[in-house]
Amino acid sequence: DSGVTQTPKHLITATGQRVTLRCSPRSGDLSVYWYQQSLDQGLQFLIQYYNGEERAKGNILERFSAQQFPDLHSELNLSSLELGDSALYFCASSVEQGTEQYFGPGTRLTVT
């Protein structure tokens, strides 16, 4: 158990819909990262927050957005969902940027 929690574990939704994925980092970690993992694209970094502020952006679509709240939990919002958005979405946390990241168990999103 890494100490990072993610909800929900599984999510099935239809194209065009909007979903919110939630992540709670390890106690004491200020950085939160979001990743997408699919068979064809592999592990893709989406976005990072540090103590409530956006710090780095990766291959995140405009339809996707994220935020980190004062209690340090983070949410990833995915809208206008397409079939290709079906993937595993991981959250990770670290004490500081550039140090080891600890990954949550992931949310499996299926878009039908």
Partner 1 sequence: AQSVTQLGSHVSVSEGALVLLRCNYSSSVPPYLFWYVQYPNQGLQLLLKYTSAATLVKGINGFEAEFKKSETSFHLTKPSAHMSDAAEYFCAVSPISGNTPLVFGKGTRLSVIA
User: Does residue 105 bind partner 1 (CB under 8 A)?
Assistant: yes
CA dist., res. 92 & res. 101, Å (int)? 6
Q: Which stretch binds partner 1 (CB under 8 A): 11-19, 21-29, 78-86, 90-98?
A: 90-98
Q: Helices H, strands E: what count in the chain? A: 0, 11
Task: Collect all residues with Cβ–Cβ distance below 8 Å to 37 and sequence separation of at least 6.
Answer: 43, 44, 87, 88, 89, 90, 106
Q: Which of 56, 84, 110, 112 binds partner 1 (CB under 8 A)?
A: 56
AA letter at 56? A
**Shortest gap between Cβ of 23 and partner 1 (angstroms)?**
11
Binding-site size for partner 1 (CB under 8 A) equals 24
**Shortest gap between Cβ of 92 and partner 1 (angstroms)?**
8
Q: Which of 90, 93, 109, 111 binds partner 1 (CB under 8 A)?
A: 90
